[in-house]
Amino acid sequence: MATRPDRLSIGIDAIALSVPRGFVDLGELAEAHGVAPSKYLSGLGTRRMAIAAPDEDPVTLGVNAARRLFQRSGASPADIGLCVVGTETAVDHAKPVAAFLHGLLGLPSACRVFEAKHACFGGTAGLLNAVEWIASGSARGRAALVVCTDIARYALGSPGEPTQGAGAVALLIRERPRLMELEVGRTGSYARDVHDFWRPIHHKNALVDGHFSVQCYLDALAGAYREWRRIAEDGEPLARTCYHVPYGKMARKAHRHRRMIDGLSEQAADESFAVEVEPSLSLPAQVGNIYTGSLYLALASLFQAQADALAGLRVGLFSYGSGCCAEFFAGVVLPEAAPLVRHLDIDGPVRDCRRMSVPEYEALRAEDATADRRPAPDAPPPAQRGTEGRAVYLGIDASERRVYANE
Ligand code: CAA
């Protein structure tokens, strides 16, 4: 589908990731749990899960993704007029993660800054809000910074444990983007009040009704996709589709479900998976579930694998947030994407992530329980603002304010 000059051209201009320093190999975790490794590796379709250390939190992951975005894209904090953080693992009930980012990145004071929460849908809520902010004229030439940042934690030994992960995706949204033009105003939504996955405010670990959550996801996909088809059926067929990926197998189930709605047999739907979905699953398999960022990690994988081949083609995007709200929408990959993707070096942080043993991971999880209350050093270094360095969390001060510095 060619870009038409008479239409609003708004979308994703650049993308960057950040992940914690360490990951756990799921084959090793399975062996430690006395589970057949094939259950995690092929039954769930996961390979690794990134694990945050006590000095890594959703703020540091988000800041580090945004710093990489500025360093690699050529954009500057001065360009930003809207900063939205989607997260379901915020660090404060009142002060938004976006306010920490605003300070640590040195964004302009003339900037709308807020956090969006709706389980894994919060990042998409931020993205669509940013697109509509630009379409409304409020942006006045400025760009939006949308950051999806989360640490997925379930109880040790629970069925959810092998589907953990941690990381952030930063997206630069602006007019005349270079990576993907989004189809403004053409989204299919679905919502329903369900208890498939939740985290009461006194819990650090998520609670989940696992098999019910899978069914809720599929029902939401069907609802959002049918609505999208009604609105956007005049477009070109979708060359690829990126799904919310809590674990790889979920994307496989989702794709089968969606393509059978299109009228394909189960076999034909499954056969289309290798071409239409698989290229988007490499980074999710290496990082695990990053909740709000999971769909955009899949999109980052797709850019990395196939930006050249996809120029001018339409890609479907499905976002699911438990609770639940879902949205199906689409965009067109732009010709400038391929050279820019090479320059962005999207998976650089994932290549730098180091394997930790299962006992090391379990020790980190034990420390995790008290990280939010750990006292910061008495005279911490002043927080460094701007786009350089790697942010770390030091602890809380005497008034329980979180303290950050550069590593
Ligand atoms: N070799 C190969 N495959 C094996 C196997 C083996 N030895 N043993 C089991 N399997 C297969 C099973 O057949 C099953 O495959 P299918 O789904 O195709 O039937 C798969 O491995 C998983 O096995 P189980 O269903 O027995 O696994 P489980 O009960 O231990 O837990 C889960 C699975 C419910 C997904 C659990 O991991 C969980 O609760 N995860 C967190 C919730 C989640 O991610 N939900 C997804 C939808 S909600 C959402 O998307 C929001 C979000 O981000 C959380």
The full set of domain ranges for the chain reads 10-406
49-55: average pLDDT: 97
- Alpha carbon of 282 to those of 26, 167, 179, 279, 303: distances in Å? 15, 15, 19, 7, 11
Distance CA 340, CA 303 (A): 10
351-362: average pLDDT: 97
Quick check: helix, strand or coil at residue 393?
Answer: strand
Do the Cβ atoms of 276 and 238 come closer than 8 Å?
yes
Ligand 1 pocket mutation pick from 124, 197, 205 by most atoms within 8 angstroms of CB:
197
Q: Which CATH architecture has domain 10-406?
A: 3-Layer(aba) Sandwich (3.40)
Distance 209 CA to ligand 1 centre (A): 11
DSSP secondary-structure letter at 273? H
214 burial via Cβ count (<10 Å: 0-12, 13-18, 19+): middle
70-94: average pLDDT: 98
Q: Is 36 in the pocket of ligand 1 (CB under 6 A)?
A: yes
Per-residue pLDDT of 289-328, as tens digits, reads 999 999 999 999 999 999 999 999 999 999 999 999 999 9
Do the Cβ atoms of 181 and 1 come closer than 8 Å?
no
Distance CA 393, CA 21 (A): 14
19-30: average pLDDT: 98
pTM: 0.97
Q: Whose CA is nearest to atom 53 of ligand 1?
A: 246
Distance 248 CA to ligand 1 centre (A): 10
Q: Is 28 assigned a catalytic role?
A: no
Which one-letter amino acid corresponds to residue 266?
Answer: E
pLDDT for the residue numbered 369: 83
pLDDT over threshold 80, residue 5: no
Alpha carbon 101 to its chain centroid, in Å, reads 16
pLDDT for the residue numbered 381: 83
264-285: average pLDDT: 98
Rg (CA), the chain: 20
198-222: average pLDDT: 97
Q: Is 266 assigned a catalytic role?
A: no
Distance CA 281, CA 33 (A): 25
Q: Is 210 in the pocket of ligand 1 (CB under 6 A)?
A: yes
The two three-digit tokens of residue 287, written as one number: 């990082």
pLDDT for the residue numbered 185: 94
Q: Is 302 in the pocket of ligand 1 (CB under 6 A)?
A: no
Q: Is 244 assigned a catalytic role?
A: yes
Per-residue pLDDT of 225-266, as tens digits, reads 999 999 997 889 999 999 999 999 999 999 999 999 999 999
Q: Is 322 in the pocket of ligand 1 (CB under 6 A)?
A: yes
pLDDT over threshold 80, residue 6: no
Residue 335: how many other CB atoms lie within 10 Å: 13
- Alpha carbon of 341 to those of 40, 54, 248: distances in Å? 31, 32, 23
Query: Among 337, 350, 352, which Cα is nearest to 73's?
Result: 337
Which ligand 1 atom sits nearest the alpha carbon of residue 252? 18
- Arithmetic mean of pLDDT over the chain: 96
Say if residue 324 is preceded by a cis peptide, omega within 30 of 0: yes
Q: Is 43 in the pocket of ligand 1 (CB under 6 A)?
A: yes
Residue 202: how many other CB atoms lie within 10 Å: 5
pLDDT for the residue numbered 8: 86
Query: Among 248, 258, 250, which Cα is nearest to 279's?
Result: 248
Do the Cβ atoms of 324 and 247 come closer than 8 Å?
no
Q: Whose CA is nearest to atom 27 of ligand 1?
A: 159
Do the Cβ atoms of 17 and 299 come closer than 8 Å?
no
Which ligand 1 atom sits nearest the alpha carbon of residue 36? 7
Per-residue pLDDT of 328-340, as tens digits, reads 999 999 999 999 9
